[in-house]
Structure 1
Amino acid sequence: MPAPPRPRHGSARPAPAPNGRSGASRWRPAIVVLSFLLAAGVAVTVAVQRPSASAGVLADGRSTAPPVGQPAAQAAQAVLPPPPPPSVAPRPARPAPVLSLPGPVPATGRGSFGYDDRQGAVLGRSGTLRRFRVAVESGSGEDVHAFGDAVQTALAGPGSWVDSGQLRLQRVPTGAGHDFTIYLATASTAGRMCLAGGIDIRVGGRPYTSCRAPGKVIINLDRWRLSVPHLVKAKLPLERYRLYVINHEVGHELGYHHERCPGAGRPAPVMQQQTLFLNGCTPNPWPYVEGRRYTGPAV
């Protein structure tokens, strides 16, 4: 059999593919898959370049999505604003000190007294024991137990007369043996009681100060509730004025006399008549200051 003729150069036909498929038919599925991948690749590229909804967009149009290759946490720190400082609750304002009590003060009472029926602790560590009662005039509007507590606070100190180490004080109920009584009385009753003991407490014709009569410490209700104008102007709390007036009048009961201001700007001695004047001193309710007896020149 003669050999088949050779094909001419440039006109060779491709060899038939196995199973009867041509080469073009063999590559057609791969082209279809590649086209699908390319289409998917375009979509992925767009999704990477466009900020996601969860990343967000700042007001100036910048995306909060992290740059390519930068960790998301580091990108968030670089782009997001710093957190607000922790809120601190404001401190409640301190109430202004009471300088004088409002409302009318009874000028007269019934002239009779109710007594604190409680026995108090012994105040002071050593020395002579002196017992006292506490009484409040009926009709004054004051509570005898509240007055008894205030007296106890004033005489306990620190800074009170018992700091000498030579004196002890104790409140006793009515009916018990006692050395003196501390009264809270309306101005009218205080004026009569003081005058009976030889002391005139009137200023401008009205009973004004408190006093001590033999065996009696008499606190004027007007002063107990109102203090005095020059101390109110100096913003001295009423509580501190009460400490002063008790220690001053008990000081008289213990045998101490009036003293003067030792110098401008210095604390007033407790035996200075601070209810009437300061004379350049500053208010002071205590006979002992920093553990030492504090005095001024004798009147």
Structure 2
Amino acid sequence: MSTPSSRPRHPHRRVLAYVLAASAVTVVVAAVTAVLPARSGTAPATTAPATAGSVAPLVAPTPTPTPTPSPSVTASPPLLRMPGPVPSAGRGTFGFDDRPGELRGRAGILRRYRVAVEAGSGEDVRAFGTEVEQVLAAPGSWIGSGRLRLQRVPGNAPHDFTVYLATPRTAGRMCAAGGVNIRVGGRPYTSCRAPGKVILNLDRWRTSVPHFVDAGVPLTVYRAYVVNHEVGHELGYRHERCPKPGRRAPVMMQQTLFLKGCVANPWPYLDGRRYAGPRL
């Protein structure tokens, strides 16, 4: 009779034992892996399997926070005209900007100019001098030809012409002395150029003109226009007409009086080229 130790072993039982043991190890590893944090660069497990042709998300999408509405910023409207009354007359004498300006322009003839403001006008001569120089120094101004240089000089320096800011009554008298009538509706209205003198009417300088204001054209645009227009006369340019309704007005057009369907434009040079209309 055989004892238990001498009984023949069954190979299939041994294999089954190994399989059960391996399965147990796999379950343990899976359980440990499930509770360990994912390493950097390792994709965490997902609850839903990837479908064919798609990629399972690596992480759950983070909800996009709703932005907090910021207070609305209202842009200030452009200044169309200066507030307050405009002096109709001053003392008839002028103070000059005593500062020398930079030489403006690349090449060509040099024209030196002074800047003056009438006493009693309420305007600062240095502020006026700075604004005139900024206009004439712009690439769209007359130096855009590449054949002209301009420089502001002090009042006691040699010069070719003077830019005056005068009250309406003084401007009317100075323009009449130069052979130009600036009266419209019985009062001095426009600006003018007399020999060696660019005379800007304080009324227009401060309040622009109705058709510019109605169109929302900023006062700085009108000022640039009137400086370039009257300096253009001093440089020998004559009046021009609107080339076509809807087009830009030539700077030598009488924009102070009308636009004739054109759009306000303060510059004689656009994109580096002279912009002109038919001669009046």
Shorter-chain TM-score tier:
0.7 to 0.9
CA distance in 2, matches of 1:269, 1:110: 35
TM-score, normalised with respect to structure 2: 0.77
| 1:205 and 2:208 correspond | no
Change in Cα spacing, 1:263 to 1:91, as seen in structure 2 (3 Å) is same
Give the aligned partner of residue 34 of structure 1.
Answer: none
Give the aligned partner of residue 155 of structure 2.
Answer: 174
Letter in 2 for 1:295: A
Aligned to 1:222, the other structure's residue is in SS state: helix
CA distance in 1, matches of 2:156, 2:126: 17
The alpha-carbon deviation at position 89 of structure 1 amounts to 3.1
Instruction: Encode CA deviations 1:193-247: one digit per residue, 9 max, x unaligned.
Output: 0000000000011000000000000000000000001110011000000000000
Aligned to 1:133, the other structure's residue is in SS state: strand
The alpha-carbon deviation at position 255 of structure 1 amounts to 0.3
Instruction: Encode CA deviations 1:74-131: one digit per residue, 9 max, x unaligned.
Output: xxx99xxx67423253462211000011110000000000100000001101000010
| 1:215 and 2:196 correspond | yes
CA distance in 2, matches of 1:274, 1:112: 29
Change in Cα spacing, 1:83 to 1:266, as seen in structure 2 (3 Å) is closer
Give the aligned partner of residue 291 of structure 1.
Answer: 272
CA distance in 1, matches of 2:152, 2:72: 40
CA distance in 2, matches of 1:267, 1:90: 38
Give the aligned partner of residue 138 of structure 2.
Answer: 157
| 1:247 and 2:228 correspond | yes
CA distance in 2, matches of 1:179, 1:88: 58
Letter in 2 for 1:202: R
Aligned length: 222
Give the aligned partner of residue 135 of structure 1.
Answer: 116
The alpha-carbon deviation at position 175 of structure 1 amounts to 0.9
TM-score, normalised with respect to structure 1: 0.72
Give identity over the alignment, percent. Answer: 68
CA distance in 2, matches of 1:164, 1:91: 44
After superposition, where does 1:1-299 map in structure 2 within 5 Å?
Answer: 84-87=65-68, 89-90=70-71, 92-299=73-280
CA distance in 2, matches of 1:127, 1:178: 17
Aligned to 2:175, the other structure's residue is in SS state: helix
Letter in 1 for 2:186: G
CA distance in 2, matches of 1:91, 1:290: 36
CA distance in 1, matches of 2:66, 2:72: 17
CA distance in 1, matches of 2:131, 2:204: 14
Aligned to 1:96, the other structure's residue is in SS state: coil
CA distance in 2, matches of 1:127, 1:221: 32
**Relative contact order higher in (CA < 8 Å, ≥ 6 apart):** 2
CA distance in 1, matches of 2:170, 2:120: 11
Aligned to 1:158, the other structure's residue is in SS state: coil
The alpha-carbon deviation at position 154 of structure 1 amounts to 0.8
CA distance in 2, matches of 1:149, 1:85: 49
Deviation larger for 234-243 or 84-93: 84-93
Structure 2 regions of 5+ residues with no counterpart? 1-46, 48-59
The alpha-carbon deviation at position 174 of structure 1 amounts to 1.3
CA distance in 2, matches of 1:192, 1:242: 21
CA distance in 2, matches of 1:214, 1:86: 64
CA distance in 2, matches of 1:173, 1:138: 17
Letter in 1 for 2:68: S
Structure 1 regions of 5+ residues with no counterpart? 1-69, 71-76
Letter in 1 for 2:67: P
CA distance in 1, matches of 2:132, 2:182: 21
The alpha-carbon deviation at position 290 of structure 1 amounts to 1.1
Name the Cα RMSD after superposition: 1.7
